[in-house]
Amino acid sequence: MTRPPFPTAVIFDLDGVLVDTARFHLAAWRRIADELGFEFDDEVGEALKGVGREAALLVLTRSGGVELDAATAERTAQRKNRYYNESLATLDASAFLPGAEAALGWLHGRGIPIALASASRNARTILVACGIEDRFDAIVDGTSVPLAKPDPAVFLAAAAAIGVDPSEAIVFEDAIAGVDGALRAGCRVIGVGDPAVLLRAELTVPDLTGVDWPALMGRA
């Protein structure tokens, strides 16, 4: 299938793209590393982004040379989620990252299909807390697709849910795992963050205010 000249749909990651929650995930993992007695490394922090909870725990413990049995790993992942949820308790619309609310409004106002593709099982809680659940034509998250990024499954499911071929969708991602998963799905990808980290994205913006939506989508 030949790619249309402009994307016909947009797929957003949530944490670190639309809302400022990536730092809460990192703070919770840092606390777990402290408890397990090793130092949290910022480079490992990048590798934890976009990755599902259990897989992230494995990456973290490996980085600290720690091995947990299955039961301890499960309890530790639950504890991390408790810490994370403590920081979500006061979350509201002030957590939007720059340009996020305006982007959703612009796309929604033109009837452009919008999907969420998040690895998080807390995604819906966040969307509700920020009052943006109704902006999405489809919500695909860690509760609906167990295979986390960099597997392409979450992006394939998101494209299917809004009725577009993955090649017609443009994905916004802040995580290396997310950029790789979206590319594997056959989507175009714009990185949100540092171009030196998100090397495989076709373009990287510091945040969504850096996107010229009419030019990107070929719409006035």
Query: Hunting for tokens 């922090």 — which residue is that?
Result: 45
Q: Tokens representing 216?
A: 């990107």
Residue 180 binding Mg ion, by CB under 5 A = no
Site string for ligand BG6, 3-42 (x = CB under 6 A): -----------xx------x--x-----------------
CB closer to Mg ion, 15 vs 46: 15
> Is residue 18 a contact partner of residue 95, using CB atoms and an 8 Å limit?
no
Smallest separation (angstroms) from ligand BG6 to the CB of 116: 10
Strand 203-205 to 9-12 pairing: unpaired
Measured from the CB atom, the residue of 140 and 175 that comes closer to Mg ion is 175
- 137 belongs to the binding site for ligand BG6 (CB under 6 A): no
- Beta strands, E only, the chain: 9-12, 114-117, 138-140, 169-173, 188-192, 203-205
198 binds ligand BG6 (CB under 6 A): no
Contact in structure between 22 and 16 (CB atoms under 8 Å)? yes
The whole-angstrom separation of Cα 220 and Cα 214 is 5
25 binds, among ligand BG6, Mg ion, none (CB under 5 to 8 A by kind): ligand BG6
Q: How far lies 177's CA from each of 51, 67, 138, 147, in Å?
A: 7, 23, 21, 12
- Is 13 one of the annotated active-site residues of the chain? yes
Known catalytic membership, residue 15: yes
Q: Look up residue 45 and give its two tokens.
A: 């922090």
49 binding ligand BG6? (CB under 6 A): yes
Give the H or E element holding residue 147: none
Closer residue to Mg ion, CB minimum distance, 137 or 174: 174
CB nearer to ligand BG6: give 116 or 156.
116
Q: Which of 13, 137, 141, 174 is catalytic?
A: 13
- Is 56 an interacting residue with respect to ligand BG6 (CB under 6 A)? yes
Q: Which stretch binds Mg ion (CB under 5 A): 14-22, 32-40, 57-65, 138-146?
A: 14-22
How many Å apart are CA 116 and CA 130, to the nearest integer?
14
130 binds ligand BG6 (CB under 6 A): no
**Which residues sit at the interface with Mg ion, rule CB under 5 A?**
13, 15-16, 174-175
Residues annotated as catalytic are: 13, 15
